[in-house]
Structure 1
Amino acid sequence: MRFKKLAPVVLSLCCATASAQEAREKEVYISVGSETLDALRTSFRASGTSAPTLVREANGVSVLKLNESQLGNVSQLMHDKYHRCAGFLTHDTQEAALAVLQPVQPAINPSLVSYTLDNAAVVSSLFSGLQESSLRSTITQLSSYTNRYYKGSASSVQASNWLRDTWLSYAAGRSDVSVQLYTHSTWDQPSVIATITGTLLPSEVVVIGGHLDSINLNVASSSRPTATAPGADDDASGVATLSEVFRVAMAKGYKPARTVKFMAYAAEEVGLLGSQAIAQAHKAAATNVVGVLQLDMTNYRGSTVEVTLVTDNTNAAQNTFLGNLIDTYTGYSRSNITCGYGCSDHASWTSAGYPASIPFEATMSQDNPYIHTANDTLANSTDGQSGNNANNALKFARIAAAYLAELGKGTIPGLPTDTQAPTVTLTTPTNGGTVTGTVNLAATASDNVGVNKVEFFVDGAIRGTSFTSPYTFAWDSRTVANGSHTFAAKASDSAGNATTTSTTTATVSNVSTSGTYDATYKTLRCSAVAATCDSGTAFKGRGAMSPAETSAPNTLKGTCIDGSSGTFHSDESNDALKVSTVDGSNFAPGKQVKVEATVWAYASPSSDRLDLYYTANAAATTPVWTLITTITPTAAGATTLSATYTLPSGTNQAVRAQFRYGSGSPASACVSNEYNDRDDLVFTVGQ
């Protein structure tokens, strides 16, 4: 068995000693993933504070007893070490805490839920009403309060009241809609719930939720009720996202077949308290909740992929349904992640036996670095291009609107009956043309009612989707081999009518070179100026680990030696490295290039990190390495991870892939560990 040692995490905890005053504090119980137990004990003891008492452990979950004032410190550990929010469940009684150790029993019969995509007209109508400016306004309002801390904060109550009043204004004149504050007996901030009663299946309930509270973990627990915690992304963005869907549903006169509840939960940051109370109340009332969508942090694009779907502590069947919604109605790129025990309010519903899912804004290691601080502002939220907008949250509003229409079903009065298919013409590439680098696939389309989307196909497989005119999609032609390829476009309207163009044939012709071993550099080098430099399979392996890597270690001057422990393609290795210009032209200073590393991740991929570096002078005696980024793989086994950077001046440049075991930022471009692998690729840049 292989063991990897974790470095201890030491927090600056606010409670100095286990004093008599501490003993008089209210005791609570929390349930956490058992893998966090050692880190929790280490951090509390290192600060001189008594560690939580272990009550019981079963099925990978531990129940601990601690003082209520220590909850924020648990939140800080979960955030700093595990990127979880909150990462645990808080319980008032030992009985309630121990109940979560039992296997979860479904609260409903899953066979009664049918996941179908047949309400495109309603989806399209809801999409047409969603507005970035409205989303931005809600985020701005919620983040304008000093904080939304669940207890002892007057502004958190004001935020709840404002949201209730806003939702009431949206629902004015609708007798089938109610909006209420859901008060909690042991803290100040109420949750907010808006309910639209279903027309055909009122006893079946769909829940769309996010948490309303915020927290600043950089201050002592006693200061949190007054500390600045705007929480613009965490989670004003999620609440604004579901609020925008509710606003549009009301404006459009949407009548769901199932009852739909929009929920803004209190007290998520200290153990999912608000959502737990509400989920358990629904379970006690035997309410038939057929699906739950959680929106926690939606306005920061930290990863290349646009949406990540959490696969642990969620419902697999509903996750598949959600993925199909995203693919069908948005075309957003997506991947799967795990976020651990109790990482957001979906866990409360899962624990109660209800099917829940959560789409998230990034991988866990690339999420918003400003959350839980005074700097979680709209200005520090970014859609990957700039801040001070709600463009990324608008994507999640579309996902939530599609979920609402396809699980809530129902109708919007006055939607036209449409049987006429759109017209569509592929304009780029032209038949018989040649494409290189990244090319904008383009089409023109029109419809008697309105075009819903245009999809672009290469060799019969969908490669991208555009929802607004001009209909274009930036496609990297280097993802296919040089030669002849077919292209087509398909236009669809909101009624499901569709037209596909005939295929166009064009030639992909990209200049590419494969690196060859250079005895001077002691690694692969592409000596000709080109658009791509590729290692091929020459880097496959790690050091002397059988089978041995050819010409190991394949680092400049051979100065950074690979670890040699473990088993090939069970333990970590870097198998390939490629660098290419984004626009398909030759390497030159100022060009943006993409670095792609194909790695083999360990069975627990979250314990691995890929560090990508570049140097402008590979020939230097001691090259200066600049970190491009650090990426955490989301799946075990073979995976390709990438990042972009801008080429500096310098004729002989190089990139380095450092694939290592261990969390956090790299200590250097040559971190020593028996499982670590480094490879350098040298390429020539035109001047």
Structure 2
Amino acid sequence: MGLKKFAPAALLLWGVTPVMAHAQVVPGIEQPAVDRELWISIGAEALEPVQSEFRAAGFEPPVGVQVQNDLAMMKVHESQLHTISRVMHDKYNRCAGFLAHESEQEARAALTKAGSPTPPIHTQVTYSIDNAGTVNALMSEMAEPNIRATIGTLSSYTTRYYTSATGLESANWIKTTWQNLAAGRSDVSVTTFAHSGYNQPSVILTITGTSLPNEVVVLGGHLDSTNTSGGAAPGADDDASGIASLTEIIRSAMVKGYRPARTVKFMGYAAEEVGLRGSQAIAQWHKTNQVNVVGVLQLDMTNYRGSSVDIGLVTDNTNAAQNSFLTSVIDTYQIATWATTVCGYGCSDHASWHAQGFPASMPFEALMNQHNSAIHSTGDTLARSAGSATHAVKFSKLGAAFMAELAKGTVSDDTGDTTPPMAAITAPAPGATVSGTTTAMANAADNVGVSRVDFLVDGALKGTDNTSPYTFAWDTTSVGNGSHVLVVKAYDASGNVGTSAGVTVNVSNTSTTATYDPTLKAPKCATVNSVCDSGLSLLNGRANLGPEVNKPNTIGGTCADGTQGVYHSDESNDRIRVLTTDGTPFAAGKTVRIEATVWAYSTYTSDKLDLYYAANANAPSWVFLGTYTPTKAGSQVLSATYALPAGGLQAVRANFRYGGTAGTCAAGSYTDHDDLIFAVTP
């Protein structure tokens, strides 16, 4: 690009001399057809790094610089936005990290609003969580392959940069995809929002509300991508993942016949990477036209799990009341684990809505400094997330739950379905005697589809499973010895409920509970019995994560646990039971079952449990039994059987790990090792 002058009138306003600025040409970055002058607002801490980068690139110093309320403003050329974006990514790990403005007046307003945020233009809604049937129906439809396929298609474009031809093509692909999903729904429309100065449009799908159509809930993510070094910009995580998560919410809503009470708008924003330009224009339009937007959710990067928690909830430039509502939604529906994080000024499109006085929230794929480091490069591909969209599924579920609880409404499947599901208990058997933690199992079927299965003991809800096979690890020590009745209830998306016949079982917990042996440094049952149980507290957690006492609870204290992660988000072994299969006391030659209660990580297929036994707890020589894989996330019981060898004081070891290889004291940041010692009749 050639040299250009800044307008002398603007320069004189700031008391500086007119200067020349060079447009930087970066390979693979299509420069705007007309290199317009724009204003930006940016965090004051970034002012010096940006100015230094301008000097290094041969640019003249930016003009019109002013600092107020910890923000800075300056005039730049549109071709320089890419350089600013690179500085913000490389130094501050921010996606965009600044706001681009069409005029000096807009930039000044941004600085002023930082000190006095724009008040909401409408009264805030009253938050409530009371739409479980709709939420569960929508979440039950979510499927990882669909999200993965959308990420794959979007990241196959060489770039989705806002000035590129493929940036326009990819936006049109999103529009067509959303139109196809909504085919046949007269209450759904898909449009593009044209922007001044560049061809890439934003895409908006609207579901008109049934009873409160003038109140609007927005779910959005940006559709452009960038490579700050030039070249291909696949943008699989940033932000094909967010668009894919939104697309799966739309698909679920259409399949389930979702009709919201409030109007819902899904938005794919253009030109986010160069100053949130698309979302700013849209948020300003809604403000100017006095649209009653009651809530905004931003999904920018959803598929890279870089932290021990699933979701980093951004607290700056967001609405505290809505954030509290969002975390209640997460916890109520057990969608994921979360912790708060700080994003920085203008780091994504939620900031555009916040600046206009609308309540906005941004759940992020990780804590801010632990997110995908490959964004804005050729390495931002699906392979970075092991070729899977498992993490993004959580954000689709969260978005659907947020939508259904804020926009309310119902699902119908458009089938007029009135047939209740079939439900039956398959284990334990009627009349069975159970003790400790036993696995309850159920079959359920429906003419359309089962949404969830609830397990009840004596009429009280004890557990829920959303996927087949339907199981529940029932801790029988939570009820008294004697007869108890198990029932399961199966639900479908239309709210029909099927109830199983009751199964009566006999609870008999006569086992001794282990106590900590300070000499051997592990839990021990000193009296011969048919069961030895570490109990609910001795082994619960690992290292300093959770309530585990006397850690590490391995013989001699020689096998330390991994210290990384979060209690009952990451891996831990929480309990060990050993019991004879025939109910008679421990003796050499008896067959026993080891039951290890583990807490598996959300992507549980990489978790492994190694089980060992030793004939002599005082000098253990460990015998490997096998490696076992969890069947779902969260708490569950994994077991194995073996014949007791000769020996008066024996032991078992549970080694629960994330990845790695089997070993009696396997290393690993998330590994938990626990022993249980028990007396045996020789």
8 Å CA contact 2:50–2:87 kept in 1: the answer is yes
| Equivalent AA in structure 1 for residue 122 of structure 2 | N
Instruction: Give per-residue Cα distances to partners, 1:641-683, cap 9 Å, x unaligned.
Output: xx967479999x99999xxxxxxxxxxxxxxxxxxxxxxxxx9
Matched, 1:109 2:122: yes
Q: 1:39 aligns with which of 41, 46, 49?
A: 49
- What is the distance in 1 between the residues matched to 2:79 and 2:425? 62
Change (3 A) 1:199 1:374: same
Q: What residue in structure 2 maps to residue 332 of structure 1?
A: 336
Cα separation, partners in 2 of 1:349 and 1:583, compared to 1, 3 Å: farther
- CA displacement at 1:334 relative to structure 2: 1.6
Q: 2:345 aligns with which of 320, 341, 364?
A: 341
State the Cα distance separating 1:530 from its structure 2 match: 4.9
How big is the shift at 1:396? Answer: 1.3
2:97 counterpart residue number: 87
SS in structure 1 opposite 2:272? coil
8 A Cα contact 2:608 2:658, kept in partner: no
Counterpart mapping for 1:109-188 below 5 A: 109-111=122-124, 113-151=125-163, 153-188=164-199
Tell me, in whole angstroms, the C-alpha distance in 2 between the residues paired with 1:127 and 1:228.
34
Residue number in structure 2 paired with 1:402: 401
Q: Residue 442 of structure 1 contacts residue 472 of structure 1 at CA under 8 Å; is this kept in 2?
A: yes
Distance 2:126 2:46 in 1: 37
Give 2:262's aligned residue.
Answer: 258
What is aligned with 1:598? none
- Partner-residue secondary structure (3-state), 2:94: coil
Residues in 2 aligned to 1:125 and 1:513: alpha-carbon distance in whole angstroms: 33
CA distance in 2, matches of 1:465, 1:255: 26
Given that 1:203 and 1:258 are in contact with CA atoms closer than 8 Å, whether structure 2 keeps it comes out as: yes
Find the partner of 1:75 among 64, 67, 85. 85
TM superposition shift of 1:42: 3.9
Q: What pairs up with 1:523-538 in 2 under 5 angstroms?
A: 530=557, 532-533=559-560
Alignment correspondent of 1:304:
308
Residue 508 of structure 1 corresponds to: 534
- The separation in 1 between residues aligned to 2:79 and 2:65, in whole angstroms, is 19
SS of 1:70's equivalent? helix
Mapped partners of 1:303, 1:441: distance in 2: 31
Say whether residues 1:280 and 2:284 are aligned partners: yes
Deviation at 1:318, TM superposition (A): 1.1
2:219 to 202, 205, 208: 208
The equivalent position to 1:217 in structure 2, one of 228, 253, 277, is: 228
In 2, Cα distance between equivalents of 1:402 and 1:354: 20
Which one of the candidate residues 193, 202, 207 is aligned to 1:191? Answer: 202
Residue 669 of structure 1 is matched in structure 2 by none
Q: How far, CA to CA, are the matches of 1:321 and 1:469 in structure 2?
A: 30
- 3-state SS of paired residue (2:322): helix
Q: 1-side partners of 2:508 and 2:282: how far apart?
A: 55
Matched, 1:392 2:395: no
Match of 1:519 in 2: none
Measure how far apart 1:94 and its partner are.
1.1
Shift in Å at residue 471 of structure 1? 4.5
The unaligned stretches of length 5 or more in structure 1 are 1-17, 220-226, 435-439, 478-483, 516-523, 537-579, 593-642, 658-682
**CA offset digits 1:140-167 (Å, max 9, x no partner):** 221222211101x111111111221222
In structure 1, the residue corresponding to 2:216 is in which secondary structure?
Answer: strand
1:408-436 alpha-carbon deviations (Å, 9 max, x no partner)? 21222356579999888997xx96448xx
Structure 2 CA distance for partners of 1:166 and 1:119, relative to 1, 3 Å: same
| Residues in 2 aligned to 1:416 and 1:455: alpha-carbon distance in whole angstroms | 21
Letter in 2 for 1:210: G
Identity %: 47
CA displacement, residues 294-340 of structure 1 (integer Å, 9 cap, x when unaligned): 11111222222222211111111111211122222243222221111
Correspondence 1:369-380 to 2 at 5 A: 369-380=373-384
1:511–1:530: 8 Å Cα contact kept in structure 2?
Answer: no
1:453 Cα deviation (Å)? 4.7
**Which deviations, in whole Å up to 9, do the C-alpha atoms of 1:484-521 show, x marking residues without a partner?**
88899997846598999999978436689999xxxxxx
Residue of structure 1 equivalent to 2:72: 62
What's the offset of the Cα at 1:27?
A: 2.6
Task: Name the SS for the 1:29 alignment partner.
Answer: strand
SS in 2 for 1:115: coil
Decide which structure has the larger Cα Rg and report it: 2
TM-score normalised by the chain length of structure 1 = 0.64
SS at match of 2:324: helix
1:425–1:311 CA distance, 2 compared to 1 (3 A): farther
Q: State the superposition RMSD in angstroms.
A: 4.7
Indicate if the aligned counterparts of 2:161 and 2:225 stay in contact, CA closer than 8 A: yes
| Residue type at the aligned position of 1:533 | A
Q: Given that residues 318 and 355 in structure 1 are in contact (C-alpha distance below 8 angstroms), is that contact kept between their aligned partners in structure 2? A: yes
Give me the TM-score of the superposition, normalised by structure 2. Answer: 0.64
| Contact 1:87/1:340 (8 A) holds in 2 | yes
